[in-house]
Amino acid sequence: MTAMFKVVLLGDTSVGKTSILQRYAKGNFKKEQDATIGAHFMSKMVDLPQSNTQIKLQIWDTAGQEKYRSVTPIYFRDAAAAICVFDITNKQSLDNAERWIDDLRNSAPSHIIVALAGNKCDLFSNEEVSIQQGKEFALKHQVEIFQQTSAKEDTGINELFLKIASKIDKNK
Ligand code: GDP
Ligand code: MG
């Protein structure tokens, strides 16, 4: 039997949470994601070459709750990892990540692994947050994984989940 771990996505509306999940679990990208599709998750097996094992990630999407600027604490229950997503073309979404991370630290298990994803890196010509600024934010907030991603172009998505799965595997 493969061990399964819960991973939750959070961050402002429109930063690309649903698109990241869709890209990772289904391998596709849609211009219009349905913001209201019910609270749900998708599962994906991850190969961990360094320990010659596989683990299963059960990745949860906020299903539009984030519009109300908070998610229910139950969402974080039993989570092994959380990914706070911002949009590199929207500085405000990084500023707001501070609140999402505070929420997380208040409601999530204390040993949770936290990752920060700077999404939409395909739109680098409209960049408002550099890689350096993303990394500094992560360091300042004790976020152990930082990754730039593009759900559209499939950049950094596998790397992001592989980093998370490797940390989960090390901690278990
Ligand atoms: P959510 O509200 O955080 O779940 O964001 P969505 O996944 O619904 O995405 C919001 C919008 O941003 C949609 O129009 C997506 O197509 C678009 N989007 C998401 N990820 C990317 C990306 O990596 N690059 C670009 N250019 N657009 C993206
Ligand atoms: Mg969504």
Q: What ipTM score was computed for the predicted complex, to two decimals?
A: 0.99
Residue 34: pLDDT over 70: no
Report the predicted TM-score, pTM, of the whole model to 2 decimal places: 0.95
The C-alpha atoms of residue 116 and residue 141 are separated, in whole angstroms, by: 10
Ligand 1: atom nearest CA of 119 is: 23
Joined together, the tokens standing for residue 121 give 């890196």
Cα 6–Cα 18–Cα 65 angle in degrees, nearest 5: 80
Pocket (CB within 6 angstroms of ligand 1)? 13-19, 31, 33, 35, 119-120, 122-123, 150-152
* Joined tokens for residue 109: 């298990």
Residue 39 clears pLDDT 80, i.e. is over it = no
Report the DSSP beta bridge partners of residue 59. 7, 42
Please, which residues have CB within 8 angstroms of residue 10's CB and are 6 or more apart in sequence?
17, 62, 66, 71, 75, 82, 83, 84, 85, 100, 103, 104
Q: Is the pLDDT of residue 63 over 80?
A: no
CA of 51 to the centre of ligand 2 (A): 33
pLDDT at 84 over 90: yes
> Does the pLDDT at position 152 exceed 80?
yes
Which atom of ligand 1 is the closest one to the Cα of 153? Answer: 23
Q: Which of 14, 71, 87, 147 to mutate to test the pocket of ligand 1 (most atoms within 8 A of CB)?
A: 14
State the average pLDDT over residues 133-143.
Answer: 98
In three-state secondary structure terms, 83 is: strand
Cβ atoms of 84 and 144 closer than 8 Å? no
Beta bridge partners of 6: 58, 79
Separation of alpha carbons 158 and 163, rounded Å: 9
Question: Closest ligand to 119 CA?
Answer: 1
Counting ligands in written order, the one closest to the CA of 30 is 1
> Of the ranges 64-78, 84-98, 110-124, which one carries the lowest mean pLDDT score?
64-78
Query: 66 and 11 in contact (C-beta within 8 Å)?
Result: yes
| pLDDT higher than 90, residue 87 | yes
Which atom of ligand 1 approaches the CA of 15 most closely? 3
Average pLDDT, the chain: 92
Residue 2: the pLDDT is 81
